[in-house]
Chains A and B, each alone.
Chain A
Amino acid sequence: MAEKEKTKIMFVMRKAAHGSIYAYEGLEAILIMGAFEQEISVAFIDDGVFVLKKEQDTKSLGVKEFSKTFRTLEDYDITNIYVDRESLEQRGLSADDLIIPVKVMEAGEIAKIMEGQHVLLPF
């Protein structure tokens, strides 16, 4: 494996948290796959940006609050985290409203990075 080039895999997160399990099981997949030393990146587009919203409190809902777990991505060297500017702005959010530092980019810039991937995984 050592000589082989790393495989570029991008998780494309487009769903909000809690209303469906995709964001949460997507995160679980990111964490497992992040441990295999491939080149993992994550893009948050459309409602996916809500997943990173600060101040989520799920106590009264009785489900797991997992937004804070995104902070551990750093430990897996997953630092290429992109957020679509238009999705963010349409939802009245800015980078300051998000729980982790991200690269806010235009759709066209994110699309270019997508094109360089071996696989895109939607969640």
Chain B
Amino acid sequence: MLHTINKSPFFSNNLESSLRFAKDGDPIMLYEDGVYAVLAGTKVEPAMKDALKKHPVYAIEADVKARGITKVVEGVYLCDYSCFVGLVEQHLVSPWF
């Protein structure tokens, strides 16, 4: 399953919930305000690093750039919508709004 998250982790528990349901290896796609989870140096970074041990984590680069996020947690793949589509080709989508 591909888990998609579009809310800031400082605002909602959607990322947390998705990780509770995600099995090891499930990819996580962060887009819209969800990309704030990849900002380095925040209180969320340890949780993000834990998530990266079990899941490939992707973030839409256009959303990252639009928000002025320049320091990204190491290991996160920045990608475009074509890559998002590529993940949906391979996985059932579980959206966490």
| Residues on A facing B (Cβ under 8 Å) | 12, 14, 45-46, 86, 107-108, 110-111, 114-115, 117-120, 122
Contacts and interface: CB of A to CB of B under 8 A. Distances in A.
Contacts of A46: 13, 17
Interface of B: 1, 13, 17, 20-23, 92-97
Contacts of A120: 92-95
Contacts of A86: 20
8 contacts: A12-B94, A46-B17, A86-B20, A114-B92, A115-B1, A120-B93, A122-B95, A122-B96
Given A14-B97, A115-B1, A107 B20 contact: yes
Nearest to A116: B92
Contacts, number: 35
A86 B13 CA distance: 14
Contacts of B1: 111, 114-115
Nearest to B16: A46
Contacts of B93: 120
A111 B24 CA distance: 12
A117 B23 CA distance: 15
Given A114-B1, A115-B1, A117-B92, A122 B97 contact: yes
Nearest to A117: B92
A105 B21 CA distance: 12
Contacts of B13: 46
